A = this chain, B = another copy of it.
Amino acid sequence: MRGLSPVVRGPQYDSARVDGKRYLITPGPTPVPPEVVAAESAPLHHHRSPDFRTLLGETLERLQRVFETEHDVLLFTGSGTAAMESAIANLLSPGDRIVVASAGNFGERWLKLARAYGIEPVHVEHGWGERLDPDRIAAAAGEADTVAVYVTQSETSTGVVHDVESIARAVRPTGALVVVDAVSSLGGVELAVDAWGIDVAVAGAQKALMCPPGLAFASVSPRAWEQSDRATLPRHYLSWRVAAESQRKNDTAFTPAVTIVAALHKALELIEARGKDAIWAHNRRLAYGAREGVKALGLDLYGPDDETSAMVTAFLMPDGIDGQKCYSILRDRHGIVLAGGQGKLRGRIMRIGHMGFMNEFDIVTALAGLELALAELGYRSPVPGAGAARAIEVFAGG
């Protein structure tokens, strides 16, 4: 009776090794829709061909619509950090005064980048997991000769989406430029670059835009262009001027990642077909289900328990349980990749990403896997299946 013998499927069952099925439920890279994979694997365009120029031109226009800007959106082959670095190198000169406001790992990246260029920022430091305070930031920006303020929209290390609209409004009277790291938020939550008066927003392809990583973007306002003309820090590969001169001819200054551009072109088409409002509402809904499910498992949220956690749900590990172990069990035994904690939060929290090509069943899967992994580590859900059940209840309208 081989094949009919009783099957034991406790938490020790090693699903990932048996079926090889994988789930990326992270803040990025996120899963890539099959249509986008197909676009990426289509025959390679030469980057100087008219076909590619048309593709690039359409992609840049679609990016402008996602950024909600009529001004330049510059494209770089690189990680999101490359676009962030471009916002230091293209805007500043030695000795410039800038303000960096941070409340987590990615906010602190602005500090690292500025210091790498010899700029020591005024640091408006917030506790990790707190919300950035527009008034504190505006007060620091109000000091004489502040060139720019650097902030983060979605702080994926803590799950907080900061209110960059209010920050921009508060900073504007000071005359300082407002630079926003939107690497993990662009396309996932509202970001109205022109309407909100954001001078520079930088973003990446591999988060809410549903693309493989490899491309990064920077929107540049007329005020930012003026400042960049005065800035003397060195740059060439990441030079906005060099990039813009080529882009005005639907060209790139350097050989771009043409397959990822083709993927992005298709992903942005899917995003436009779906509609930004619908996507933002979808992400808020997934976030709500994730938060409720996590709480139903008896876990405490680390990020805010409200709609500002739209991109990432961060939660604390139960006492005595190592988040990195839980992460590894989920990944190696169940094929589910969530995210652990970064920096000082390593081992203490875990994070579920909900953006891009994810839906309700990804959240249910994440919660189900989490319960199995925690059980293996000795933590039991108050009620079996409570996390997934609560999420389903939420998604059913409860």
Whether the Cβ atoms of B254 and A79 lie closer than 8 Å is: yes
Alpha-carbon separation in the docked complex, A258 to B49 (Å)? 25
Q: Which of A44, A85, A204 has the most CB of B within 10 A?
A: A44
A 226-238 binary contact with B (CB < 8 Å = 1; else 0): 0000000111111
- In the complex, which of the residues B32, B80, B236, B253 contacts A44, with contact meaning CB atoms closer than 8 Å? B32
What are the interface flags for A185-224 relative to B under an 8 Å C-beta threshold, 1 for contact and 0 otherwise?
Answer: 0000000000000000000101000001110000000000
**Which of B204, B237, B260 is A214 in contact with, Cβ under 8 Å?**
B260
Give the residues in chain B near A78, CB-CB below 8 Å. 76-78, 82, 237, 254
Cβ-closest chain B residue relative to A114:
B236
Q: Would you call A117 an interface residue if the criterion is a C-beta within 8 Å of the partner chain's C-beta atoms?
A: yes
Indicate the size class of the contact surface on chain A. 35 or more
- Nearest chain B CB to A238's CB is how many angstroms away? 7
Is A304 at the interface (CB under 8 A from chain B)? no
Contact of A46 (CB < 8 Å), options: B29, B89, B237: B29
Q: How many copies does the complex hold?
A: 2
Min CB distance, A181 to chain B, in Å? 13
User: Would B254 and A212 count as touching, CB distance under 8 A?
Assistant: no
Query: Smallest distance from the beta carbon of A108 to chain B beta carbons, Å?
Result: 13
- A129 to B229: give the CA distance in the assembly, Å: 36
Q: Are A112 and B236 in touch, CB under 8 angstroms?
A: yes
> Are B81 and A212 in contact (CB-based, < 8 A)?
no
Bound-state CA distance A233–B258 (Å) is 30
| B-contact 0/1 string along A28-50, CB 8 Å cutoff | 11011000011011011011011
Contact partners of A256 in chain B: CB under 8 A: 79, 213-214
Contact of A259 with B214 in the complex, beta carbons under 8 Å: yes
User: How far apart sit A276 and B373, CA to CA, in the bound complex (Å)?
Assistant: 47
Residues 329-373 of A contacting B (Cβ, < 8 Å): 331-332, 337
CA distance A257 to B47 in the complex (A): 18
B236 touching A233 by the CB < 8 A rule? no
Cβ-defined partner of A237 (8 Å) among B43, B79, B259: B79
Q: Which residues of B contact A253 (CB under 8 A)?
A: 81
Contact of A29 among B31, B238, B258 (CB under 8 A): B258
Which B residues touch A234, using CB under 8 A?
A: 89, 116-118, 233-234
Contacts of A206 in B (CB 8 A): 255
A164 CB, nearest partner CB in chain B, Å: 22
CA of A162 to CA of B76, assembled, Å: 30
C-alpha gap A22/B50 in the complex (Å): 13
A257–B254 touching, CB < 8 Å: no
Kindly state whether residue A26 has any CB partner on chain B within 8 Å: yes
Cβ 8 A contact of A212, one of B28, B29, B113, B257: B257
Q: What are the residues of chain B within 8 A of A118 when measuring CB–CB?
A: 234
Shortest CB distance A179–B (Å): 16
Q: How far is the CB of A32 from chain B (nearest CB, A)?
A: 6
Residues from chain B with a CB closer than 8 A to the CB of A286 are none
Asked whether any CB of chain B lies closer than 8 Å to the CB of A174, the reply is no
**Is A239 engaged at the interface, CB distance under 8 Å to the other chain?**
yes
Q: List 26 A-B contacts (CB under 8 A).
A: A29-B44, A29-B46, A31-B44, A38-B41, A40-B259, A44-B212, A46-B337, A76-B78, A77-B79, A77-B82, A79-B237, A79-B254, A80-B254, A81-B236, A81-B237, A81-B255, A116-B235, A117-B234, A118-B234, A204-B255, A206-B255, A212-B257, A212-B259, A213-B259, A214-B257, A259-B259
A interface residue numbers (CB < 8 A to B):
22, 24, 26, 28-29, 31-32, 37-38, 40-41, 43-44, 46-47, 49-50, 76-82, 85, 89, 112-113, 116-118, 204, 206, 212-214, 233-239, 253-260, 331-332, 337
Sorted nearest first, the 6 A-B pairs with minimum C-beta distance are: A214-B257, A79-B254, A116-B236, A212-B259, A41-B41, A117-B234
